Amino acid sequence: MITNPLLAPIHSLLDYAAVRPDHIESAIPALIEEARAAVEKVAANSGPVTWQTVVEPLEDASERLWRAWSVAGHLNGVLNTPEIRNAYNACLPAVTAYSTWVGLHRGLYGQYLRLRESEAFEALPPARQRIIELALRDFRLSGVELEGEARERYSQISDETAQVSQKFSENALDAVDQWELIVTDERQLQGIPADVIDAARAAAADSGREGWKLTLKMPCYLPVMQHAQDREIRAQLYRGYATIASDQGDTRFDNSSLIERLLALRAEEAALLGFDSFADMRLETRMADDPGQVLEFLHTLATRARPYGERDLEELKAFAAESLGLTDLQPWDVAFVSERLREARYAYSEEEVRQYFTEDRVLEGLFKVVGRLFAVGLHPIDAPVWHPGVRVFEVRDAQAQTLGTLYLDLHARHGKQSGAWVDSERSRRRKGSELITPVVYLTCNFTPPQNGRPSLLTHDDVITLFHESGHALHALLSKVDDPAASPFSSVEWDAIELPSQFMENFCWEWSVVQSLSSHVDTGEPLPRTLYDKMLAARNFQSGMQMLRQIEFALFDMLIHRRNQGLTITEVLETLDAVRREVAVLIPPSWHRFPHNFSHLFAGGYGAGYYSYKWAEVLSADAYAAFEEAAVTTPDGTRDTLDPATGRRFLDEILAVGGTRPAADSFRAFRGREPTLDALLRHSGMFEDAPVA
């Protein structure tokens, strides 16, 4: 009888509620040893090499390990108790050491080389040939050809990098969880939405205090910054968020030295492998050719966006002075003034819109979109979960065949990493007659239900949910039977955002918005008049928003293009230089944005943040195909949910995973190379574009 749920058969759903920290600490070492034995057996084979003697035995052993480790990492992110954190950290060095050992294993590398040069290789289907080619590339990028001290040093770097990245993540989480502002004067809460105030009162009561507890969690932070009339309250929260995990905040969680260490380790790793910089090394596995190409792309976008960003800021300053009496617009005023300007210009507020987007209705509408485009259904099932708020859905095709399982964890809570993301527990794999289907986690941090009322989403929350659903669909609708070519394993990083950013576009279509909306009190869908106002405001401050993303991407590429590490002073100086070049809003000198930039320092996006804009070009162009195929319904509505185009998107983008280069997949879908035109048009950045 299996008593450790992490050792359950790979085809079964896991009993998350039963997973204890000691299960992690016992399962991971045992599974590592099992995987090591499999590697050694494959490497020792002196007979003929085939797919069945090299690749399949490794997949059999490794999928159990990576499934268990994925669960451990997931729980560490969504249920971060001291016990789970300690168990995860106890196993992290061994997992890192195993990964490094495999990458440096010359015997295994030799078997892949033999397979590549064999007659058996020529008989493999193209997808499996690509897996072999990518494996050989990854071996070389993992240092397999290093000798002596360099080889040993590479192993040390890998181990330390994993430890430092994990500590960076912990510091960011702890800094947010520990920060609070207790308000005892209710007058200071004027303007803040009622449900946010109710949640703040409940949070204070839970910690044994009177009054209201404000935090840096997004369901609290964002509405306070947008709506609080008390300028000092906004200033305190702004400073708290701007100094997360830094020398300017709670110094117990200062990430300064960790940033320095990570940049030094990355530069050293790249040099060991013969690259000029970490950025050069990273782009070996991307669509982009080299850092220069990325920088040229970002500078081109910045040049196009800057006039619009400058116009956005001037309008904001003028409105602040003329309508609100704020002649000295400060960073903590920007969200508040922007929301007032939006209300004045378009006669609606985000809070008004939010009343129409109840969580259940939004999910129902999302599932309808997915069903119409891709002919699949999402059906709720009972399954063990890690928190009572988690919901589980089975994804089935038109023939009622199960394609995968989706776990939704949508609400913010203490001990849960902030942000929104998708990860997978296991990938699709066919073993003989058995098909193992993918299991995917979709995680967000929306406002939980309050006082018997459902969770209400802003339209930005709806967009976030659609974005993450694109990632989830990429994994769930894959038809790739070999995990090594699954979407999350081998699609180039700068194309991985294509499906997610593509899905965002449907949140702006009238027919879709109707299916997503139902007023929390009346049940009425969002009125057409309100929708028209939202649509008119779609590109509100799009110039500033695009420049902000370009700022992040340029900063990332520049600090990783250096051939050595940087001090934290040099990091901040680089960011300042980027801002002087592209930004229109310059934050205070004490602002410490990099210290909470988990994408770069704990999330795998180092030298890859440009991917968001790169993939946005692809996604906007891909969505343009749906615009071209749209039909006008009898009531005059444009319907972009074209099943035929959806089927092509499924077949050429989602289903193929990494079985071919992403550029080939895009060309197969669109019939040509991508262009900037659709992105600029969707962003309102074209000649004679109307003023937002």
pLDDT digits (tens, 9 = 90+) for 151-186: 999 999 999 999 999 999 999 999 999 999 999 999
DSSP tag of 145: T
> Using an 8 Å Cβ cutoff, are 430 and 496 in contact?
no
CA distance 256 to 266: 16
Q: Tell whether 128 is covered by a domain.
A: yes
Kindly indicate the confidence band of residue 690, based on its pLDDT and cuts at 50, 70 and 90: very low
Which of 192, 214, 243 is the C-terminal boundary of a domain?
Answer: 243
Residue type, 308: Y
H or E stretch including 411?
Answer: strand 402-411
Q: Say if residue 623's pLDDT is above 70.
A: yes
Where in the sequence is the domain holding 123, given as residue range(s)?
5-145
Residue range 635-648: mean pLDDT, rounded: 93
CA distance 562 to 489: 28
Q: Computed over its alpha carbons, how large is the radius of gyration of the chain?
A: 25
Are residues 190 and 111 located together in one domain of the fold? no
| SS3 of residue 553 by DSSP | helix
**Residue 51 structure tokens:** 């797919």
The residue among 361, 343, 341 whose CA lies nearest residue 351 is 343
Which of 97, 124, 145 is the C-terminal boundary of a domain?
Answer: 145
CATH classification at residue 21: 1.20.1050.40
| SS3 of residue 444 by DSSP | strand
Cα four-point dihedral sign 298, 304, 305, 307: positive
| SS3 of residue 436 by DSSP | strand
Kindly indicate the confidence band of residue 272, based on its pLDDT and cuts at 50, 70 and 90: very high
**How distant, in Å, are the alpha carbons of 18, 639, 640 from that of 644?**
44, 13, 11
Helix (H) and strand (E) counts in the chain: 28, 11
Q: Tell whether 295 is covered by a domain.
A: no
Are residues 131 and 193 located together in one domain of the fold? no
CA distance 62 to 80: 25
The pLDDT value recorded for residue 686 is 73
Are residues 195 and 132 located together in one domain of the fold? no
The residue among 85, 73, 68 whose CA lies nearest residue 34 is 68
DSSP tag of 214: E
CA distance 585 to 313: 8
CA distance 307 to 449: 41
CA distance 203 to 212: 7
The pLDDT value recorded for residue 636 is 80
Instruction: Count Cβ atoms below 10 Å from residue 36 Cβ, excluding itself.
Output: 16
Mind listing the pLDDT tens digit for each residue in 494-544?
Answer: 899 999 999 999 999 999 999 999 999 999 999 999 999 999 999 999 999
Mind listing the pLDDT tens digit for each residue in 324-355?
Answer: 999 999 999 999 999 999 999 999 999 999 99
* Pairing relationship of beta strands 429-431 and 434-436 according to DSSP bridges: antiparallel
The pLDDT value recorded for residue 2 is 60
Q: Using CA atoms of 660, 664, 665, 671 in order, give the dihedral in degrees to the nearest 10.
A: -160
Mind listing the pLDDT tens digit for each residue in 3-47?
Answer: 899 999 999 999 999 999 999 999 999 999 999 999 999 999 999
CA distance 380 to 360: 12
The residue among 294, 170, 137, 229 whose CA lies nearest residue 608 is 294
Q: Is 417 left (phi over 0), alpha (psi -120 to 50) or beta?
A: beta
The alpha carbon of residue 120 and the mean position of all alpha carbons in its chain are separated, in whole angstroms, by: 38
The residue among 410, 361, 407, 402 whose CA lies nearest residue 382 is 407
pTM of the model: 0.91
DSSP tag of 483: G
> Using an 8 Å Cβ cutoff, are 445 and 411 in contact?
yes
The pLDDT value recorded for residue 450 is 87
Q: Tell whether 532 is covered by a domain.
A: no
Are residues 23 and 72 located together in one domain of the fold? yes
Are residues 60 and 12 located together in one domain of the fold? yes
Query: Phi, psi at residue 376, to the nearest 5°?
Result: -130, 155
Residue range 441-470: mean pLDDT, rounded: 96
**Which residues neighbour 445 within 8 Å (Cβ) at sequence distance 6 or greater?**
217, 218, 219, 410, 411, 412, 416, 418, 419, 420
> Using an 8 Å Cβ cutoff, are 329 and 337 in contact?
yes
Q: Say if residue 691's pLDDT is above 80.
A: no
**Residue 229 structure tokens:** 């009339």
- Based on the residue annotation, tell me whether 186 is a catalytic residue of this protein: no
**Which residues neighbour 284 within 8 Å (Cβ) at sequence distance 6 or greater?**
137, 141, 275
Are residues 92 and 191 located together in one domain of the fold? no
Kindly indicate the confidence band of residue 1, based on its pLDDT and cuts at 50, 70 and 90: low
Which of 103, 119, 145 is the C-terminal boundary of a domain?
Answer: 145
Are residues 14 and 126 located together in one domain of the fold? yes
**How many domains does the chain contain in total?**
2
Q: Say if residue 635's pLDDT is above 90.
A: no
> Using an 8 Å Cβ cutoff, are 624 and 298 in contact?
no
CA distance 137 to 133: 6
CA distance 549 to 277: 23
Q: Say if residue 692's pLDDT is above 90.
A: no
**How distant, in Å, are the alpha carbons of 112, 126, 476, 487, 524 from that of 661?**
21, 12, 19, 11, 46
Residue type, 272: L
Are residues 25 and 129 located together in one domain of the fold? yes
Are residues 198 and 141 located together in one domain of the fold? no
Q: Tell whether 20 is covered by a domain.
A: yes
Mind listing the pLDDT tens digit for each residue in 116-139?
Answer: 999 999 999 999 999 999 999 999
Instruction: Count Cβ atoms below 10 Å from residue 392 Cβ, excluding itself.
Output: 18
Q: Tell whether 140 is covered by a domain.
A: yes
Are residues 9 and 134 located together in one domain of the fold? yes
Kindly indicate the confidence band of residue 687, based on its pLDDT and cuts at 50, 70 and 90: low
CA distance 351 to 691: 24
Residue range 540-558: mean pLDDT, rounded: 97
Task: Show the beta-strand stretches assigned E in 510-654.
Answer: 631-632, 638-639
| SS3 of residue 101 by DSSP | helix
**Residue 621 structure tokens:** 């162009």
Q: Tell whether 121 is covered by a domain.
A: yes
| SS3 of residue 352 by DSSP | helix
Residue range 461-484: mean pLDDT, rounded: 98
Are residues 10 and 110 located together in one domain of the fold? yes
> Using an 8 Å Cβ cutoff, are 653 and 591 in contact?
no
Residue range 587-594: mean pLDDT, rounded: 97
Which residues is 638 bridged to in the sheet?
632
Percentage above 70 pLDDT, the chain:
99
Single out the catalytic residue among 468, 497, 551, 616. 468
Return mean pLDDT, the chain: 96
Are residues 27 and 119 located together in one domain of the fold? yes
| SS3 of residue 127 by DSSP | helix
